[in-house]
Chains A and B, each alone.
Chain A
Amino acid sequence: MHLVRHHAYEFGVRGVDPNALSFDLTTAIARKDKIVGGIISGIHSGLKKNSGITFLTGRAEFTSPVDIRLDGQAITADKSILAVGATPTVPTIPGLDEAGFITNNEALKLGALPASMIIIGGGYIGIEFAQMYARFGTGVTLLGRAPRLMPKEEPELSGQLEEILQSEGIKVHTSTEVIRAGRDDTSRYVISRNGEVEQRMNAEIILLATGRTARVDGLGLEQAGVDLNGAFLKTDDQLNTTAPNIWSLGDANGGQMFTHRATYDGPIAALNAVKSLGRAVDYRVVPRAIFTEPALASVGLTEEEARQAGHAVKVGSYSFAHSGRGKALGQNEGLVKLVVDGDSREILGGHILGPHADMLIHEVVIAMQGRSTIETLAKAIHIHPTLNEIVKSAAKAVQ
């Protein structure tokens, strides 16, 4: 709808009245549910075909390292793999419970489009929902504790994305802490503090996106002999927990909490549990993406991180403003920035803000996985006209 509203006329489409456009959240959620339902049914049929797997439904609780109680029934297992994921962290903000809030789980199930929303948390989840709901038509206020959104990302890129979000009408408050929340007759409110300045903000919905915690409530970790390390499970580099017969993978272990990381962990945990292969995980090259528009995707070290690690850093960057394909798409905001070790010429990091950044980043992922030098990327012939040419141009810009 954003595209239609803002670009239809420019692209020569007539008969679209931007003011007459409206968005039906219920239809969008029903469509999402249908897609997810298809995926789930595919998973179930895959499980049914696998005679080696017995699928059991229920909440598992360890009563010993090998005994598991499961909603009334009990099983034993020589070994276990915990793939329990993580759940939204609820910070202790006075009045928050009384005010009422939602997390990302409920944010995809709302029955009606809220007129206004305060999002607490300036990380991936907060930012993605901020842009999504703002584009749906909700008035969004985004509160982040750090001095900038996405504080771990390359500042040039996250700064540019912050400007884009603001230009779309999202009210972004950084260095802002929420000190109280509540509810009055007509809406919910939060009291935020930035330095000495306190501010009251009202909204129909409060969405919490303040981090995640391993989903271990009621799992019986103590009886299993599995220790926590802060909010997450304690594991070694072979995904073994503190119980010698129990492994753990994915979000529950903290670190880079992405689906693709859990999917990478899965086979390693299985090999180590079943075949005692002692395989170690290698997280040197784990890409990440924020699914905004433009998207922000990155892999490896930022320029600052590379300097702190002692590298003689060289960087190269190139803007999508120079991309003919980007111009044709009407999407030429953003840039590619590559971080290189000046001595070995090995690529240490890649950072992309731009159209389809989540796909383009894989050029850098493959190059880094193979420990390629920047020259490999710079010399590789890229198809014209594609967005990928900007990655090559950034590589050529590295001195």
Chain B
Amino acid sequence: MDHYDLAVIGAGQGGLPAAHLAARLGAKVALIEMQQVGGT
């Protein structure tokens, strides 16, 4: 089973900057999106 430091659920305009910054801070990040990136 894959293990991550942080899961970000939703790749909209809030999830994306959260995931990018978390990765920059050194976290191993899973970004999960069920529809389309960028949000509605």
Give the interface of A toward B (CB within 8 A).
Answer: 36, 39-40, 43-44, 46-47, 50-60, 68, 70, 73-85, 105, 219, 249-252, 259, 262-263, 265-267, 269-271, 273-275
Contacts and interface: CB of A to CB of B under 8 A. Distances in A.
B8 A83 contact: yes
A78 B8 CA distance: 11
A206 B22 CA distance: 42
Contacts of A82: 9-10
A80 B31 CA distance: 10
A36 B38 CA distance: 9
Contact of A77 (B6, B14, B15, B33): B6
Contact of A85 (B2, B12, B22, B24): B12
Interface of B: 1-34, 36-40
B14 A263 contact: yes
A61 to B, nearest CB: 10
B4 A75 contact: yes
B34 A77 contact: no
B19 to A, nearest CB: 5
A270 B32 contact: no
Contacts of B33: 55-57
Contacts, number: 167
Nearest to B39: A85
Given A56-B30, A56-B32, A75-B4, A275 B25 contact: yes
Contacts of B16: 43, 266
Contact of A79 (B6, B10, B31): B6
Nearest to A87: B40
Contacts of B31: 47, 53-56
Contacts of A43: 11, 16, 37-38
A266 B27 contact: no
Given A83-B11, A270-B25, A274-B5, 14 more contacts: A40-B38, A52-B24, A54-B28, A55-B31, A56-B30, A56-B31, A68-B9, A75-B3, A75-B4, A80-B8, A83-B18, A262-B39, A270-B19, A270-B21
A70 to B, nearest CB: 6
A266 B11 contact: no
A273 to B, nearest CB: 6
B34 A274 contact: no
6 contacts: A56-B33, A77-B30, A79-B6, A262-B12, A266-B13, A273-B22
B5 A78 contact: yes
Nearest to A40: B38
A81 B3 CA distance: 15
A271 B21 contact: yes
Contact of B37 (A44, A54, A263, A266): A44
A105 B40 contact: yes
B4 A250 contact: no
Find the residue from B14, B15, B32 having the highest chain A CB count within 10 A: B14
Closest 7 pairs between A and B when the two form their complex, measured CB to CB: A52-B23, A262-B14, A83-B15, A266-B17, A83-B10, A77-B7, A250-B14
Given A40-B36, A43-B38, A55-B31, A270 B11 contact: no
Contacts of B32: 56-58, 60, 68, 70
A60 B37 CA distance: 15
Given A83-B15, A263-B14, A77 B5 contact: yes
Contacts of A271: 21, 25
A381 B26 CA distance: 45
Contacts of B40: 85, 105
Contact of A266 (B1, B15, B25, B28): B15
Nearest to A73: B2
A218 B11 CA distance: 17
B34 A270 contact: no
Contacts of A75: 1-4, 7, 30
B12 A274 contact: no
Contacts of B26: 52, 274
A39 B38 CA distance: 8
Contacts of B11: 43, 47, 55, 83
